[in-house]
Amino acid sequence: MTRLGILGAGGRMGRAIADAAETAGVPVAGGVDRDGAVFGGYADAHALAGACEVLIDFSVPDALGSHLAAAQAHGRALVVGTTGLSADDHAAIDAAAANIAILQAANTSLGVNLLAALVAQAAARLGPDWDVEIVEMHHRHKLDAPSGTALLLGQAAARARGVALDTPNLDRNGKREEGAIGFASLRGGSVAGDHIVVLAAEGERIELGHRAESRAIFARGALKAALWLAGKPAGRYTMADVLGL
Ligand code: NAD
Backbone torsions φ then ψ of 202, nearest 5 degrees: -65, 115
* Residue of 174, 181, 131 whose CA lies nearest to 155: 181
Q: What average pLDDT does the segment 100-117 reach?
A: 97
What's the mean pLDDT when you consider all of the chain?
Answer: 96
Measure 217 CA to ligand 1 centroid, in angstroms. Answer: 16
Which atom of ligand 1 is least distant from the CA of 32?
Answer: 20
29: helix, strand or coil: strand
* Residue of 17, 25, 76, 27 whose CA lies nearest to 47: 76
Distance CA 245, CA 234 (A): 21
Half-sphere exposure of 158 (CA within 13 A, CB side): 16
22-37 confidence digits (pLDDT tens): 999 999 999 999 999 9
Out of 67, 139, 141, 142, the active site residue is 142
Question: What proportion of the chain, given as a percentage, has pLDDT over 70?
Answer: 98
Q: What confidence score (pLDDT) does residue 245 get?
A: 85
Measure 81 CA to ligand 1 centroid, in angstroms. Answer: 8
Read off the DSSP letter of residue 61: G
Q: What confidence score (pLDDT) does residue 170 get?
A: 67
168-206 confidence digits (pLDDT tens): 766 778 888 888 999 999 999 999 999 999 999 999 999
213-239 confidence digits (pLDDT tens): 999 999 999 999 999 999 999 999 999
Measure 119 CA to ligand 1 centroid, in angstroms. Answer: 27
pLDDT of 210 strictly over 70? yes
Q: What confidence score (pLDDT) does residue 171 get?
A: 72
Q: Say if ligand 1 is within 6 A of residue 7 CB.
A: yes
- Other CB atoms within 10 A of residue 107 CB: 27
Please tell me the pTM assigned to this model: 0.94
- Burial-class residue 191 by CB neighbours within 10 Å (0-12, 13-18, 19+): middle
Q: What average pLDDT does the segment 71-82 reach?
A: 98
